[in-house]
Amino acid sequence: VGCYFSAEFQGEFVTQEVSGKGVGSMANESIQYSTINITFNAISVWGYCHKKVGDNVLLMDRSRYKDCTRCFRLLRRSRNVIEVFSEALDRCYMSESAALASCDTLNSTSILYHLTYNCLGSWPGPNGSNYLALWSNNVDDDRPQYRCGLFHIDNKKGKTYMAFSSDSSCTQDLNNSTSGYETLILSKSPNQKKVPDYVKTHVATFPKWAQGVWEESLIVNGTMTFTDLNGYNSYTFITIESNEETGRYVVYSKDQCEQAAFVCLMMRQRSENVLEFTRGMVFSPIYQENLCDDPNLDNLVWMTQARIERVVESPCPITGQYTGMITDLSGMCAELSSNCNTREIMYFKVSDCESGELYEERTYLCLGQWEEKGVMYTYTMRNDTSTNECFVGLIVNDEEIYIKEAGDHCIRNIDPKTEGMRLYKKGQCYGNSPSPAPTPLKPIPHNPIMKITTTPRSRISATTQVSGNAVSSSVSYRSRTFTNLMLFITILVAFLV
């Protein structure tokens, strides 16, 4: 397998720096940050991508009088947090075998943040707790600009216990969610705003096909709750006027900060297991009949949701093996293929066009697809990261297709023919069955069964107004201590460019 860093790891990051006076003095020192860049095939300061072995990557440092190699392990903890395991930077190996052997002893970490909002992300921690990364925009504050902590929620007591480290690391003076440099016990404040009487007397229902547990939503009768992991907002929508023919619903909307308004919500069934919804641009403190009129519904951003408990699987829109050149990556080729026996599975490979050296391979589970304005949108789940991705494509015929990534929520106004990859069919699909031609697929109607066995994946969020395409806002943790005998811990924070 070739050596390069995929797109989700690339970008500009910051690393915490402290003087080497010992870990006990870190809380009293001024914390500085320096920039580190991760490119297609290198990490600045650390070296060039030399070889990948499982989750480990060997980086070659060419800045010394002789090339030497170090082992790193990069783990994507969430959309905005990457954890890096490594030895101290003053340890570098002249032989590849020695560097590879050191991969088994990595126990220090670097954390990469993709920086947008105060809450940067969370990931599983020890003993049922979770790590939490925060960013403070108060540059005049003497405290660290980036904070890491542990928290756990006690549902019986209705309390959240949270503890923070003394610096930007996830280790310094941090023992558990109740013991750290700074501790908090949080309780949810009681609702201050009562639901208006008009809402209580005019409750309608969402359509039957929409009922149930979705990726970030729960819809029961006329109430929809949505927790947005991108923008860390949560919303409750109570429908008071329902029009299933147009898919438009006047709702009473309230977020986690008790900001409430009447607004138009549009909902579409894209396939058996995929729905999309969006809100209008007009928010009214009182009910208005014209909230769902056409002038208020231009240039909206759709939020794409996958059903958690699927009754049937959705076949992928392509059948066969297709190959072509990647337009924005010179010299690289892509192969897209399907499985004849399991048509909901799709494979994607990236390789060097000349040598055929394999750089990356992914497996996708197709969740649903639909046609809109002459192009086809396919919503998928990437198996290795369990994250959802959308693709927009154009099937010219059985021999030629165009495809382009469309983000997490199926971004509109992308022309796959001019912006995407052009792929040609080179063979049949994997498996023993013949490869039928791609055909448009329609949703299979059914009455969903409510089985709430687990809590839907939560995306905690801060209200933002977005022009053009949705409710969400993109959002898109350990100190570095150098000693001669100890491994280091680093924090990297990714800046939006």
pLDDT at site 80: 67
Establish if 62 belongs to a structural domain: yes
* DSSP structural state of residue 132: E
Check whether residue 344 and residue 399 sit in a common domain: yes
Query: SS3 string of 92-123?
Result: CECCHHHHHHHHHHCCCEEEEEEECCCEEEEE
Check whether residue 74 and residue 130 sit in a common domain: no
Strand duo 233-243 + 223-228: pairing: antiparallel
The upper half-sphere exposure of residue 186, i.e. CA atoms within 13 Å in the direction of its Cβ, equals 11
Check whether residue 323 and residue 431 sit in a common domain: yes
pLDDT at site 30: 62
pTM: 0.62
Establish if 465 belongs to a structural domain: no
Please tell me the total count of domains within the chain.
4
Check whether residue 167 and residue 144 sit in a common domain: yes
Contact 469, 125 (CB under 8 A): no
Establish if 489 belongs to a structural domain: no
Check whether residue 270 and residue 368 sit in a common domain: no
Check whether residue 133 and residue 242 sit in a common domain: no
Encoded amino acid at 459, one letter: R
Residues 6 or more apart whose CB falls under 8 angstroms from that of 467 comprise 299
> Which domain-ending residue is among 440, 455, 490?
440
The whole-angstrom distance between residue 246's C-alpha and the CA centroid of its chain comes to: 31
Establish if 469 belongs to a structural domain: no
> Which domain-ending residue is among 187, 209, 244?
187
Residue 241 domain boundaries: 197-306
Check whether residue 51 and residue 76 sit in a common domain: yes
* DSSP structural state of residue 436: P
Establish if 362 belongs to a structural domain: yes
* DSSP structural state of residue 343: T
In the beta sheet, which residues pair with residue 252? Answer: 238, 262
Q: Which residue has the tokens 């009182």?
A: 286
Check whether residue 319 and residue 302 sit in a common domain: no
Contact 134, 147 (CB under 8 A): yes
Check whether residue 370 and residue 424 sit in a common domain: yes
Establish if 497 belongs to a structural domain: no
Distance CA 98, CA 71 (A): 10
Establish if 487 belongs to a structural domain: no
pLDDT at site 40: 86
Check whether residue 300 and residue 320 sit in a common domain: no
Contact 469, 300 (CB under 8 A): yes
Q: Is the dihedral of CA 237, 243, 244, 247 positive or negative?
A: negative
Strand duo 159-164 + 182-187: pairing: antiparallel
Q: Could you give phi then psi for residue 419, rounded to 5 degrees?
A: -110, -15
Contact 237, 228 (CB under 8 A): no
> Which domain-ending residue is among 306, 327, 357?
306
Check whether residue 222 and residue 280 sit in a common domain: yes
- Tens-binned pLDDT, residue by residue, of the chain (497 aa): 568 888 788 887 777 765 444 444 444 556 677 677 888 889 888 889 999 888 899 999 887 657 889 999 988 877 667 788 888 777 888 889 989 999 988 865 556 554 333 677 788 899 999 998 887 765 555 566 788 999 998 877 778 899 988 888 888 889 999 999 888 888 776 656 788 999 999 999 999 999 999 999 999 999 999 988 666 678 999 999 999 999 999 999 998 888 899 999 999 999 999 999 999 989 999 999 899 987 777 778 999 999 998 888 999 998 899 999 998 888 999 999 998 889 999 999 999 999 988 988 999 999 999 999 999 999 999 998 888 999 999 999 989 999 999 999 999 999 999 999 999 999 887 664 444 444 443 333 333 332 222 333 333 333 333 333 333 333 233 333 322 222 333 334 443 33
Distinct helix (H) and strand (E) counts, the chain: 3, 32
Establish if 345 belongs to a structural domain: yes
Contact 316, 366 (CB under 8 A): yes
Check whether residue 302 and residue 317 sit in a common domain: no
b (16+ CB within 10 A) / e for 21-41: eebeebeeeebebeebebeee
